[in-house]
Structures are given as C-alpha cells and as structure tokens.
Structure 1
Amino acid sequence: MTDLTTLLEVGGPLAALGGGTAFTRAKFPAVYWSAVGGPISTARLLSSYTSVMEACGLTVAPSRLRVLAVKATTRREVRPVPPRRGIIRPTSTGLRIRLRLAPGQEPADVAASAERLRHAWGVHAVYVTTVKPGVVELRLVGYDVLRRVRMPRKTDAGFLKVPVALREDATPFVRDYRTVPHQLTLGATLSGKSMYLRHLITGLARQSVALVGIDCKRGVELAPFAARLSALATDPDEAAELLPVLVKEMEDRYDLIKARQGIAPDTPDEEITSDIWGLPESERPVPVVLFVDEVAELFLTATRKDEERRDEMVTQLIRLAQLGRAAGIYLEVCGQRFGAELGKGATMLRAQLTGRVCHRVNDEASAKMALGDIAPEAVSAACAIAPELPGLAVAGDTSGGWSRIRTPYLSLGDAAEICRESAHLMPDLPALKPFQPAIPVRPVATPALALLPHPATD
C-alpha cells in the first residue's frame, strides 16, 4: 500500500506534467517553444557550438599568431577556429544569431550545412541570410510556423505594401507594388487563392488606392468588395469596355509626366521625373490596382467575333503590364492555369508579370507555368503542397529567389466589412464612374414589439 501511494504521489504529477507538455506542444507550439523548446535549444547551441561547427566543416586552421599564443600560455591542443558567434537573440518563433565568417569562408558554406545544424540543435529549420560581407545571420525556427499561421505584430507595412502571408522562416511576406509591380497567382479550386486575394484587397482598401476588378465568373469573387471597388467588370463584354478606359487613363498619365519633363531649363534635377512618383504630391494621380480573377475566361472564345475581342483585350493587358508601372497602374492576375495553350499573347503577358505565387495545382505543368521560367527548383515544392493545407503556396520572383508561404484565414464576411468601412477612402476617378458597381443596400431589421396590440372592446 505504501509503494502504491508513493507511486501515485510521484507518478501522478509527472504524468500530468508530461501530458500537459505534450498537449501544449501540439496545440500551442509558440508557448511550448518559449517555455521549454527555446531554453533547451539555446543550451545545446552554447554547449556544442565549436564541435558542431567542426563536424560541419565550418572551421579553418588557426593563424600562426594564435598558435604561438596558445603554445606559449597553455599546453592544450590547438583546435580549428569556428566562425565568431554573436549574441543569441530569442524570438517568439525561434532564435537569431549572427556569425562572422573566418577568412576563406563564404555564406554558401553555412547554407549548405543548414540541415546538419537543424538536427544538431534540435530545431525545426535553419535559414541563412547575408547581413553584410563576412557576416551572416542564422534564423533558427523552433516549430512549423505554417501549420497555424500567426502574423507578426510588427510588419513592414506602408503605402502600397501589404503583409499578406507568413514565410516558412517566420518573417512576413509583404506584397510591395513599388518593387514588384505586377504578379501572377495560380492555384486550383480550394487551394487558398481566394484567401490570398482577400488579404490583398483588404490591405489596399485601407489606403488611398483605386481598386479595379475583372471577375468573369459573374462577380462571385469580387462583388462582395463592391463598396470599395472603383470599377468592376463581371463578364468579358464589360471587361472589353473597361480595359480601353484603363489604357486611356495610362496614356493621360504619361502625358502628365511628359508635360512635367518639358519644363524650364533652370528647373532643379530632382523635379525631373520619369514616373508619377517624381511628380509633386498635389499633381500626382492615385495608384490603380487591377485585379483579374480567372484570367483564362478572357482568353476563351467560341466564335470569330469573340476571337477579335479576345485579341483586343489581351493586347490592352499587355500594354498595361509593359507601361503601367510608371503610370502607377499595377496588375494582379489570378487563375488556375496560364500558359501558351490559352492563345496568342498569353506567354508575352506572363513574361511581364514579375512576381509569381503558386498555390496547390492539379498537375506539374501548371506549376511550371508559374515558376519554371524563374525558379525551376521551386516547381517540385509547389507540386508537393497537400490538399489539407489550404493557403500554402510557393512565392518567387524573376530574381530566382523563392520561399514557401501561407495565408492566414480571413472570412469573406470580415473582408467585405473591411471594404465597407473603408468606402470613404475610394478616390474619385471620373473615367471609371460608369463602371462603378452598384452597392446593395443592407436591410435594416425592424425592432420587434414587446407587447402585441389588442383591439379595444366595448
């Protein structure tokens, strides 16, 4: 009986502690990392740093001066020198540490050993970034941050910058239209492409930006945001009327820029500009972001008349993609597939779209359409996205860099409410007035009477 009581007194709390730790690790990984995982990984890093670096081949032979100093002061063995370690800075998702590389080393050497460092220090992933020549930063991620996305509180938000998703290294993925003016977003049904679009629209809705939509699925994707849209086309016929107006707006803005360039010779150099951002703020037109949902609907034709209309729309889209950046007009092109089989001009339009985001697709060819021409190694990562992870995508650009991202959940009702609250920020563009969508009036509920009236009787 005494042994049983002792077992219960000791084993009960231990079992409860172990069960609580396992539950916290599964359901609240950030809390587990801050309380348990972070201190353990920090202790591993501090105790095994030199031996791990030596095992990974990240050490160099000591200098002659160091050898002489060690031999003169001690009799211990002179060991190879690892990169100089900086201060370990803990975060809510992992650890950050800077390394000063030894002479003869390069950042690629550290990046090649990232997987070994991950196993040695017991973390989920290790990412290497170059801070400056000779200095790299190791970002140790303690758990899978894409399993349950929580956006950082502090993000690099600003005008025409939208933090839309979370990268696998726990940094925010910011859609910066000034840096990447046009983007192509691909994804199969229920892949999270619409969620990505909602975050973009709600992020821009809070800014002084004109939002224009082309949704040939009868507006089922973009119509809920009608309160904030300056123009909306819901079928190819309306799109064929809207695109020439945008091209004309772009040409008028170029005329404004040219007029500014033709100023007096004594004008300072800083007042001479080649885009709208060099114009004075009082003369600068508002930026325009064009969202094209299911772009394949613009390419599909049934008759010869439809082919003529298609060729005109594609030509206008290509002109906007080629010349729109300087005029402050940006494109967000979305679809399930986008390749040469859509018709003439598809490949040329895709070449103008700098940014690429590929969600889960139905075949490898679709992933190659999005990423094959900029980052071939990212195609396999896009094909490996599981259906039970909606919102997960591979983002890349024409520089060749790519990363896995995931968009947090945002309901359609919340996104529509944000657009309604931001309706007063809609800029006034007279050319787009005829295409402004009708805003449905929300019914007002009449209060129910507490007491039912009774007729008066004699």
Structure 2
Amino acid sequence: MTDLATLLEVGGPVAALGGGAAYARARHPGVYWSTVGLPVSTVRLLSSYGSVMEACGLTVAPSRLRVLAVKATTRREARPVPPRRGIIRPTTTGLRVRLRLAPGQEPADVAASAERLRHAWGVHAVYVTMVKPGVVELRLVGFDVLRRVRMPRKLRPDLLRVPVALREDATPFVRDYRTVPHQLTLGATLSGKSMYLRHLVAGLAPQPVALVGIDCKRGVELAPFAPRLSALATDPEQAAELLPVLIKEMEDRYDLIRARQGIAPSTPDEEITSDICGLPEHERPVSVVLFVDEVAELFLVATKKDEERRDEMVTQLIRLAQLGRAAGIYLEVCGQRFGAELGKGATMLRAQLTGRVCHRVNDEASAKMALGDIAPEAVSAACAIAPERPGLAVAADTSGGWSRIRTPYLSLGDAAETCRESAHLVPDLPALKLFRPDVPVRLPVEMPDPVVCPRPVTD
C-alpha cells in the first residue's frame, strides 16, 4: 500500500506534466516552445556547438599561435576552430545567434549545413542570413509558425507598407509598394488569394491613399470595400472607361513634375526619371493603388468589337505598369492563371510586375507563369502547397529570392468594417468621381417587441 501511494505521489505529477506538455505541443506550440523547447534547445546548442560544427565541416585548422599555446598549457593537440558564436537571443518563436566566420569560410557553407544543424539541435528549421561580410545570423525556428499564423505585435505602420503575411522564418512579409511597385498574385479557387487581397485593402484603408478596383466578377470581391474605394469597375465595359481616366491622371501628374522641375513639355514621359515624392507636400498628389481581380476576364473576348476593346485595355495596363510608379500609381494584379494564351500583351504586362505571389495552383504551368522566369527553384515549392492549408503561398521578386508565406485569417466583415471606419479618408480626385461606387446606407436595427409584456409592480 505504501508503494502504491508513493507511485501515485511521484507518477501522478510526472504524468500530468507529460500530458500537459504533449497537449501544449500539439495545440499551443508557442507556449510549449517558451516553457520546454527553448531551454532544451539552448542547452543542446551550448553543449554540442563545437562538435556539431566539426561534424558539419564548418571548422578550420587552428593557427600556429593557438597550436603552440594549447601545447604549452595543456600538452594536447589543438582542435579545429569553429566560427565564433555570439550571444544567443531567444524569441517567441525560436532563437537567434550570430556567427563570425573563420578565414576561408563563406555564408554558403553554413547555409548548406542548415538541415544538419536543424536535426542536431532539435528545432523545426534553421535559416541563414548574412548580416555583413564575415558575419551571418542563424535563425532557429522552434515550431511550424505557418500552421497557425500569428503576426508579430510590434509592427511599425508606414505609408504604402502593409504587413500581410508571415514568412516561414517567423518574420513578417511586408508588401512595400515603394520598393516593389507592381505585383502579380496567382491562385486557384479557395487557395487564399482573396484573403491576401483582403489584407491589402484593410491595411491600406487607414492610409492617405486612393484605392481603385477592377473586379470583373460583378464586384463580389471588392464591393464590400466600397466605402473606402475611390472608383470601382465591375465588368470589362466599365474597366474600359476607367483605365483611360487613370492614364489621363498619370499624364497630368507628369505635367506637374515637368512644371515643378522645369522640364520641357515636349519631353516624353519615358525620359522623366523623377517621381511625385520630390514635389512639395502641398503640391504632391495622393498615391493610387489599382486592384485588378480576375485579370483574365479583361483578356477574354467573344466578338471582334471585344477584341479591339481588349487590346486597348491591355495597352493601358502596360502603360500604367511602365510609367505609373513615378506618378504614384501602383498595380496589384490578381488572377487564377496568367500566361501568353490569354492573348497579345499578356507576357509583356507580366514582365512589368516585379513582385510575384503564387498560392496553390491547379497545374505546374500556372506556377511557372508566376515564378518560372524569376525563381525557377520556387516552382516546385508552389506545386507542393496542399489544399488543407489555404493562404499558404510562395512570394518572390525579380532578385531571385523567394520564401513561403501564409496570410492570417481576416473575416470579410472585419475588413469591410475597417473600410467603413476609414471612409472619411477617401481623397478628392475629381476625375474618379464618376466611378465612385454607391455606398448603401446602413439602417438602424430596430429591436423587436417583447413577446411577453411586462407587468408593473404594485404594492
């Protein structure tokens, strides 16, 4: 009986702790990492750093001075020298540590051993970034941060910069229109493309910018954001009327730049390299972000007349992509598929879209359309996205770099409410007043009469 009581006293708490740790690891990985994973991984790193670096081939022969010093003090053979380790910085999702590379090493050597380091230290992933020549940073991620996306709390809002997703290395993916002015976003049905667009609109709504939408699905995607939109076209006919107005607005802004900088009026727009950011604040026009949802609908034609209209719209989109950045006009083009089979001008327009975001697609050819010309190795990663993870995508740009990202959930009601609260920020653009969408008036909700009438209390 005494043995049974002792077993219950000792085994009960141990079983409870083990069960709690297993539950936290499955349901709340962040809590598990902060309480269990972080201390364990830190001990593993500190205790096995030298041997792991030697096993990964990341050590170099010691210098002669070091060999002489070791022999003189300990009479032992000097071991190979690993990269000098900096201070370990814990985070809510992993660890960060900087390494000073030994002479003759390069960051590619450490990056090639990232998978070995992951297994040796028992973490989910290891990412290597170069801080400066001779110094790299190891970012150890303790768990799969893309399974349940939680954006970092401390994000500094800035003009035309919107944090829309989380990278697989636990850093935020920020859509910066000043760095990447135009972007192409592809994704099949239920892949999370609409959620990505929803985050962009909700992030730009509180900023002093003009939002313009072309939604050829009768406005089902962008109509809920009508209170914040300066213009909205819901079919190709309206888009054919809206795009020339944007071209005229762009030309007027170029004329403003010419007048301010003393450039001759006969100078072609293509030769003007300055932008509206150089204008005084009181003369600077607001930036315009154009969202084009289901871009393939602008290319599909049925008659000869539709073909002429299509060619005009494609030409105008190409002009906006080529010249719009200096005038403060940015493009966000979305669709399920975007290739040369859509018609003349599709490939040329795609070449002007610097940023690429590819969600789950139905075939490899669609992934190649988005990523094949800038990051061929990312095509296989895009094709491997499972339908059970909507919002997961591969983000790349023309520099060749790419990473996996995932957009957190944002309900349509919350995004629409953000646009309604920011309706007063819609800038005054006279050229777009004709295309301003109708905003339905929200009637007050009347409370129904009670079923049972209350009785007064009498003495």
Which TM-score bucket, shorter chain as reference? over 0.9
Residues 237 and 263 (structure 1), Cα distance of their counterparts in 2 relative to 1, 3 Å cut: closer
Structure 2: how far apart are the matches of 1:226 and 1:187?
24
CA RMSD in angstroms, aligned pairs only: 1.6
Residue identity matched to 2:397: D
Per mean C-alpha deviation after superposition, the further-off stretch among 302-311 and 58-67 is 58-67
Verify the 8 A CA contact 1:215 1:234 in the aligned structure 2: yes
Task: Say whether the 8 Å CA contact 1:213–1:290 is kept in structure 2.
Answer: yes
How do 1:20-419 and structure 2 match up within 5 A?
20-262=20-262, 274-419=274-419
C-alpha separation in 2, matches of 1:136 and 1:263? 46
Task: Judge conservation of contact 2:213–2:222 (CA < 8 Å) in 1.
Answer: yes
Give per-residue Cα distances to partners, 1:237-266, cap 9 Å, x unaligned: 0000000000000000011111112179xx
1:55 counterpart letter in structure 2: A
| Shift, 1:449, TM fit | 4.7
Instruction: Supply the distance in 2 between the matched residues of 1:197 and 1:263 (Cα, whole angstroms).
Output: 38
**Alignment coverage as a number of residue pairs:** 447
Distance 2:112 2:148 in 1: 28
Distance in structure 1 (CA, Å) of the matches to 2:14 and 2:62: 48
Superposition deviation, residue 64 in structure 1: 1.1
- Match of 1:46, SS state, is helix
Kept in 2, the 8 Å contact 1:90–1:96? The answer is yes
CA contact (8 A) 1:318 1:349 kept: yes
Q: Secondary structure at the match of 1:237?
A: helix
Compared CA separation, residues 369 and 108, structure 1 to 2 (3 A):
same
In structure 2, C-alpha distance between the alignment counterparts of 1:377 and 1:155, rounded to whole Å: 30
Deviation (angstroms), 1:73: 2.0
Residue 439 of structure 2 aligns with which residue?
439
Secondary structure of 1:348's counterpart equals helix
Task: Return the alpha-carbon distance in structure 2 between the equivalents of residues 371 and 412 of structure 1.
Answer: 29
Q: Percent identity?
A: 87
Give the Cα separation in 2 of the matches to 1:449 and 1:296: 51
Determine the structure 1 residue equivalent to 2:267: none
Structure 2: gaps (5+ residues):
265-271, 455-459
- CA offset at residue 448 of structure 1? 3.9
Is it true that 1:427 corresponds to 2:427 in the alignment? yes
Distance 1:437 1:429 in 2: 14
Which whole-Å CA distance do the structure 2 matches of 1:236 and 1:64 have between them?
Answer: 75
Q: What amino acid is aligned across from residue 120 of structure 1 in structure 2?
A: A
Q: TM-score, normalised by structure 1?
A: 0.95
SS state of the match for residue 158, structure 2?
coil
Q: Which moved more, 1:60-69 or 1:9-18?
A: 9-18
The answer to whether the Cα contact below 8 Å between 2:225 and 2:419 also exists between their aligned partners in 1 is: yes
TM-score, length-scaled by structure 2 = 0.95
SS in 2 for 1:166: strand
8 Å CA contact 1:257–1:273 kept in 2: the answer is no
Is the Cα contact below 8 Å between 1:260 and 1:273 reproduced in 2?
Answer: no
Please state whether the residue corresponding to 1:326 is helix, strand or coil. Answer: helix
TM-aligned CA distance change 1:127 to 1:156, over 3 Å: farther
Distance of 1:413 and 1:263 partners within structure 2: 48
Q: CA deviation at 1:93?
A: 0.2
1:124/1:301 CA distance change after superposition, 3 Å: same
Displacement of 1:273 after TM fit? 7.4
Distance (Å, rounded) in 2 between the aligned partners of 1:71 and 1:260: 74
Cα distance between partner residues in 2 of 1:31 and 1:58? 33
For structure 1, the residue ranges without an aligned partner over 5 or more in a row are 265-271, 454-458
Tell me if the contact between 1:188 and 1:359 (Cα under 8 Å) persists in the aligned partners.
yes
Cα deviations by residue, 1:248-291 (Å, 9 ceiling, x for unpaired):
00000011111112179xxxxxxx97110111111110000000
* Contact preservation (8 Å) 1:209, 1:426: yes
Structure 2: distance between partners of 1:308 and 1:390: 37
Distance across 1 between alignment mates of 2:87 and 2:15: 36
Displacement of 1:155: 2.3
Cα distance in 2 for partners of 1:99, 1:323 equals 43
Residue type of the partner of 1:134?
G
For residues 205-258 of structure 1, give each alpha carbon's deviation from its aligned partner in whole angstroms, at most 9, with x where no partner exists. Answer: 010000000000000000000000000000000000000000000000011111
User: 2:9 is matched with which residue?
Assistant: 9
Match of 1:269 in 2: none
How far 1:9 moved relative to its partner?
Answer: 2.4
